[in-house]
């Protein structure tokens, strides 16, 4: 006999778990299905640290970031665990005009911040090197404990009536009369609505719904790129400031050269991971990968670049102590999220690189999408995140 449930959420990473939390908190019947075991490292939601910050000029992202802060605190209270630690955050290097736009948005919204000279910032945070003006987000930046966050979303969702099943692979999703059939290795589930939030596996799972002659994206499909990123943790040098005093940080080193004709492949980000040192990484420049056939090994050339970068720009850590980390990024061509509904199926994808901090507010968005009138227009999400932008780009 086919199991029936109001809403199925496919994917138990941070976004799917946040969607289940938001749905259950609203009194909806929800079943969360996760392919892998709890705490797995195959996706993008594991580990102990993710940056939390509000450094956006776009109102759509600022709305979500400011909303998320209150939700994180509510989740902490409900789960009885600390998730968000505010340390302040600093941004420096090239891209001063962009930081100026962010500061203007901060002023308009009352986000506490200050400008510092490179010298003043270096005196305050001697473990980091700065160049040019530094934007300091004083009270609304820090780090989120990633593993605890996923566990907390799921624990509170369960407490509010959700079912959470790990080690349950979804084989396919089909719209059928009156609902959506979710095919799993353990049998079929008939749902009224489905939320798909499976990170690196998104394009394959939703392809039959979005592509083809009748899909909203036609032959173009969902244009996601999956890469294997390789940040690393570094131990502090003797005499360096305690890791608990470090801010979260981003830096665009611009055209700095290390050796003949070698440039940094991107800007960088970093933050303390208590007990593991200082995490530093490039942004979205790892090799493309198949999420089912990853090497989990760093690409040596890019690792060497990261070590060179750290030696020059993060003097408070020892480059020789690098412990590489492997995770996936799943990104769209414009680096904006996908948050949309196609009939009874809600699609959530493309969050890698800057999505984790928004998780509780994105859970609320996914809840709203999943509870809209299926025959009505999609109204719960900004146009910036809609699937139609890809169809337009493809000339469809």
Instruction: Give the chain's count of helices (H) and strands (E).
Output: 9, 21
89-93 and 338-342 as β-strands: parallel, antiparallel, unpaired?
unpaired
Mean pLDDT of all residues in 179-189: 96
Mean pLDDT of all residues in 64-90: 98
Is the per-residue pLDDT at 393 higher than 60? no
Mean pLDDT of all residues in 371-379: 91
* Token reading at 23: 């749905």
User: How much is the mean pLDDT over the chain?
Assistant: 93
Q: Are 199 and 60 in contact (CB under 8 A)?
A: no
Q: What percent of the chain has pLDDT over 70?
A: 94
Predicted local confidence at residue 392, as pLDDT: 56
Please report the sign of the dihedral spanned by the C-alpha atoms of residue 285, residue 328, residue 19, residue 340.
Answer: positive
Predicted local confidence at residue 391, as pLDDT: 80
Is the per-residue pLDDT at 218 higher than 90? no
pLDDT digits (tens, 9 = 90+) for 119-146: 999 999 999 999 999 999 999 999 999 9
- In angstroms, how far is CA 266 from the centroid of its own chain? 18
Most confident of the ranges 139-153, 221-235, 367-381: 139-153
Question: Angle at which helices 359-370 and 146-159 pack, to 10 degrees?
Answer: 40
Query: What span, in angstroms and rounded, lies between the C-alpha atoms of 243 and 223?
Result: 39
Mean pLDDT of all residues in 174-186: 94
Is the per-residue pLDDT at 313 higher than 60? yes
SS3 label, residue 199: helix
Predicted local confidence at residue 208, as pLDDT: 84
Residue 113 banded pLDDT, cuts 50, 70, 90: very high
CA atoms within 13 A on the CB side of 236: 19
187-196 and 345-349 as β-strands: parallel, antiparallel, unpaired?
parallel
Is the per-residue pLDDT at 214 higher than 70? no
Q: How far apart are the first and last CA of the chain?
A: 41
Mean pLDDT of all residues in 70-95: 97
Residue 253 banded pLDDT, cuts 50, 70, 90: confident
pLDDT digits (tens, 9 = 90+) for 147-158: 999 999 999 999
Predicted local confidence at residue 394, as pLDDT: 44
* Separation in Å, CA 179 to CA 206, 305, 321, 355: 16, 50, 53, 30
Query: What span, in angstroms and rounded, lies between the C-alpha atoms of 149 and 76?
Result: 9
Query: What span, in angstroms and rounded, lies between the C-alpha atoms of 296 and 304?
Result: 17
Predicted local confidence at residue 396, as pLDDT: 33
Assign 3-class secondary structure to the chain.
CCEEEEEEEECCCHHHHHHHHHHHHCCCCEEEECCCCCCCCCCCCCCCCEEECCCCCCHHHHHHHHHHHHHHHHHHHHHCCCCEEECCEEEEECCHHHHHHHHHHHHHHCCCEEEECHHHHHHHCCCCCCCCCEEEECCCCEEECHHHHHHHHHHHHHHCCCEEECCCCEEEEEEECCEEEEEECCEEEEEEEEEECCHHHHHHHHHHHHECCCCCCECCCCCCEEEEECCEEECECCCCCCHHHCCEEEEECCCCECCCCCECCCCEEEEEECCCEEEEEECCCCCECCCCCCCCCCCHHHHHHHHHHHHHHCCCECHHHCEECCEEEEECCCCCCEEEEECCEEEEECCCCCCHHHHHHHHHHHHHHHCCCCCCCCCCCCHHHCCHHHHHHCCC
Predicted local confidence at residue 240, as pLDDT: 97
Predicted local confidence at residue 256, as pLDDT: 52
Is the per-residue pLDDT at 221 higher than 90? no
Q: Are 232 and 304 in contact (CB under 8 A)?
A: no
* Better-predicted residue by pLDDT, 261 or 296: 296
Predicted local confidence at residue 257, as pLDDT: 43
Is the per-residue pLDDT at 395 higher than 50? no
């Amino acid at each position: 006999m086919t199991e029936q449930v109001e809403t199925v959420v496919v994917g138990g990473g941070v976004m799917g778990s946040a969607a289940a939390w938001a749905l259950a908190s609203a009194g909806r019947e929800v079943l969360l299905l996760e392919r892998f075991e709890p705490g797995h490292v195959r996706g993008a939601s594991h580990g102990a640290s993710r940056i939390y910050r509000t450094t956006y000029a776009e109102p759509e992202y600022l709305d979500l970031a400011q909303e998320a802060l209150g939700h994180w605190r509510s989740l902490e209270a409900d789960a009885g665990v600390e998730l968000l630690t505010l340390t302040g955050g600093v941004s420096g290097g090239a891209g001063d005009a962009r930081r100026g736009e962010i500061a203007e948005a901060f002023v308009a919204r009352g986000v506490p911040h200050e400008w510092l000279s490179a010298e003043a910032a270096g005196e305050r945070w001697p473990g980091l090197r700065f160049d040019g003006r530094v934007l300091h987000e004083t009270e609304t930046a820090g780090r989120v404990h990633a593993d605890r966050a996923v566990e907390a979303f799921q624990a509170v969702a369960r407490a509010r009536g959700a079912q959470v099943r790990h080690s349950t692979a979804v084989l396919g999703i089909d719209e059928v009369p009156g609902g959506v059939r979710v095919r799993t290795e353990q049998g079929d589930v008939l749902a009224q609505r489905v939320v798909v939030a499976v990170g690196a596996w998104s394009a394959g799972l939703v392809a039959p719904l979005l592509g083809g002659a009748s899909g909203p994206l036609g032959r173009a499909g969902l244009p996601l790129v999956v890469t294997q990123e390789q940040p690393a943790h570094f131990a502090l040098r003797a005499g360096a400031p305690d890791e608990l005093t470090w801010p979260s940080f981003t830096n665009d080193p611009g055209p700095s050269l290390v050796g003949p004709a070698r440039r940094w492949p991107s800007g960088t980000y970093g933050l303390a991971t208590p007990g593991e040192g200082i995490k530093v990484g490039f942004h979205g420049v790892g090799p493309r990968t198949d999420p089912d056939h990853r090497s989990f090994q760093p690409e040596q050339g890019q690792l060497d670049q990261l070590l060179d970068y750290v030696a020059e720009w993060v003097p408070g850590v020892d480059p020789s102590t690098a412990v590489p980390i492997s995770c996936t990024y799943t990104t769209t061509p414009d680096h904006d999220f996908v948050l949309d509904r196609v009939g009874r199926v809600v699609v959530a994808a493309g969050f890698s690189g800057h999505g984790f901090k928004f998780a509780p507010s994105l859970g609320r968005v996914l809840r709203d999408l999943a509870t809209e009138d299926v025959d009505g227009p999609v109204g719960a999400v900004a146009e910036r995140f809609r699937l139609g932008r890809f169809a337009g780009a493809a000339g469809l």
